[in-house]
Amino acid sequence: MKRCLTAFLTLVLSLSIMAAAQNDNANVGNASSSSSAKSTNSNKKRGPVFRATKDQIKQAQAILKQRGFYGGEENGKLDTDTRAGLKKFQEAEGIKVTGTLNRMTLGKMNIALTEKQKAMPA
């Protein structure tokens, strides 16, 4: 009787250990597949980024100042105050509020695009 009980307990313990090992392996497989999915998304090639030149930023700061949306210096830096002024301008003009000097905002301000900017996809 003792032998049967010992054999039964040994069998249950062995099955529990195997089930736990399989569960750990399944979790490792899920973690690696989710991390590979993340790396696949981050490996997608992003096109060129539209960036305003320092001169364009200075022109925009002057326009924002004239319209009362900006009170800082015309230094050509896209700082926090300039971004806040751009948001106010974009809202007033009814265009998407981004706080950046994108193609649409430069167009509304009648600031000329560079040849490189013109060649970028819209």
Cα end-to-end span (Å), the chain: 82
Domain count of the fold of the chain: 1
Give the pLDDT of residue 97.
97
Give the pLDDT of residue 30.
52
Distances (CA, A) of 58 to 65, 83, 110, 113: 10, 13, 13, 14
Give the pLDDT of residue 32.
47
Say if 103 falls within a structural domain.
yes
Tell me how far apart the alpha carbons of residues 60 and 105 are, in angstroms, rounded to a whole number.
Answer: 9
pTM: 0.63
Say if 19 falls within a structural domain.
no
Full domain range(s) for residue 89? 54-117
**Per-residue model confidence as pLDDT tens digits over 33-87:** 444 445 555 677 888 889 999 999 999 999 999 999 999 999 999 999 999 999 9
Give the pLDDT of residue 33.
47
Say if 86 falls within a structural domain.
yes
Question: Which token pair is 102?
Answer: 């994108």
Say if 43 falls within a structural domain.
no
